[in-house]
Amino acid sequence: MIEHSSRTRPPRPPKARRCWRRALTLTVALVPLLAACNVWEQAGRLPAATRFNPHETAITPDNVASLRDAWSAQASDSFSEPILVDGKLYTTVDGAGGGSVRAYDAATGAVLWDTPVPGPATAGASGPVVSAGGVLWVTREGLGESTCASELSQLDPKTGRVVTSEKTGPAVVGPVVAAGTTMAFVTKAGCSETGNRQQLVVRDLTGATWGWTYSFPDGDHPGPTAPSIGNGKIYVASGNQVYAFDAAGCGAATCAPSWTTSLDLDGARVDAGGSRPVVGPDGIVYVGALIWGDETLVRALDGQTGAHLWRTDVHPGPGQGWQNLALAHGQLYVSDHRYGSPGNALEVFAAEGCDQPVCAPEWSASLDGPPVAGLTVGGDVLYVGVFGWTDSRMVGFDAHGCGSAICAQLGAVGFGDRQPIQVSVAGGRLAVVSAGTAGSSLRVLVPG
């Protein structure tokens, strides 16, 4: 249970209504169609990696303080980011007994099926589950002599039956991403099939064409992020470059970027911060970035040209993996683990910028620990996981702010010595994966 905090809430802008507009053309199908919109189908929810579910209405700023456990599950190793589709929760479960895709009843936590993830003889970690094209997709990497025998599989979401399985060669970096009939992923270097380079692989899910690839330059460090897809383009950040590709390809088996742009600032090398680019519906692309690994900032780029539009200020930080982005309600949310003063922070910027090269936040909040879970917005509530050695927690804020420059949290769910690291929200349920010395847990929270 989380305690309520007093607040003053500003007027809210209109919510996204795309699914409403579609539904109103067929009134008889209104309820089923709206339910179909309120899903979390892949890591980041959308291929654009916005981490925003605009159709979540059951958990609100007025009842988020009452969140309680509906059910939970444990794993000796790890769960992947859960996805929530059609009343079911899907996740991969890695542990001492191997890896599997598991389907839960999202309301009760009952296990509906549990299928081993196909993989090589010496298997490594499983990737997160993706719901696309009416099936579930999941990867399993190889270790040691099986490094180049990683597999990509399709599963039937109703039964867990493996429909197909194929080798990808090197292991897949990060999540597989799907947009319509397009699937994209990045493979690691190290196998002759990909010329010993990390590679972007783009597939056509209809089977009409195989797709195309692009090999990133040798020596990129950090290497490519998982791709994000939006507005007809695929974006990947690698090293100090952001790459944009036409999602439809170029009519050949190997395609070049439509543009690349450097993240460097005032002569200093600036590398991608390790998280996927975030693609806005207006075409702006947001990339977390690092200066020499110990200062952080976020750049906003024109998605069609790569031109630099604006950036946040530069802050001292501990390196990649400590900065998270989300995009919702015309706002860019940034959580940052910082050294020194003012310390860890949540800052919220106007997504379109401020007509200046460097923008200040519209509002912010202080976090009393490193933000370790990716920011997530469900309807009007913003969530962020905060680490503490004995008092880690999931913190909720009004996603629209509070009418002041500094906003207080609405409350927090305690996780003790477990770090909340993965979050998704749909259908009135907040699914949180946390990790600790005793393994990983999956908790599904509902307002009570």
Domains and CATH numbers, the chain: 18-447 (2.130.10.10)
* 105-124 residues labelled b (16+ CB within 10 A) or e (exposed): ebbebeebbebebbbbeebb
Between CA 24 and CA 18 the distance in angstroms is: 10
| Residue 96 pLDDT greater than 80, yes or no | no
Between 258 and 6, the higher pLDDT residue = 258
| Residue 196 pLDDT greater than 80, yes or no | no
338 band by pLDDT with thresholds 50, 70 and 90: confident
The stretch 159-175 carries a mean pLDDT of: 91
Q: Find out whether 260 and 283 touch, Cβ atoms under 8 Å.
A: no
Between CA 435 and CA 422 the distance in angstroms is: 9
What phi and psi, each to the nearest 5 degrees, are found at residue 252?
-130, 170
The stretch 83-102 carries a mean pLDDT of: 90
Lowest mean pLDDT, pick from 5-19, 79-93, 168-182, 391-405? 5-19
| Residue 309 pLDDT greater than 90, yes or no | yes
- The DSSP output letter for 379 is T
The stretch 167-174 carries a mean pLDDT of: 88
Secondary structure (3-state) at 149: helix
* Beta strand residue intervals within 106-258, DSSP E: 111-116, 123-126, 130-132, 135-142, 150-155, 162-169, 172-179, 182-187, 199-204, 211-215, 228-230, 233-238, 241-246
Between CA 252 and CA 193 the distance in angstroms is: 18
**According to the model, what pLDDT value does residue 194 have?**
52
**Chain position carrying tokens 């790459």:** 243
* 241-261 residues labelled b (16+ CB within 10 A) or e (exposed): bbbbbebebeeeeebebbbeb
Residue 317: beta bridge partners? none
The stretch 424-447 carries a mean pLDDT of: 95
| Residue 264 pLDDT greater than 50, yes or no | yes
The stretch 363-384 carries a mean pLDDT of: 92
Exposed, middle or buried, 381 (CB in 10 Å: 0-12/13-18/19+)? buried
User: pTM for the complete prediction?
Assistant: 0.91
Phi-psi region of 372 (alpha: psi -120 to 50; beta: other; left: phi over 0): alpha
**According to the model, what pLDDT value does residue 265 have?**
94
Q: How many CA atoms lie within 13 A of 103 on its CB side?
A: 18
Between CA 359 and CA 313 the distance in angstroms is: 7
Residue 332: beta bridge partners? 327, 349
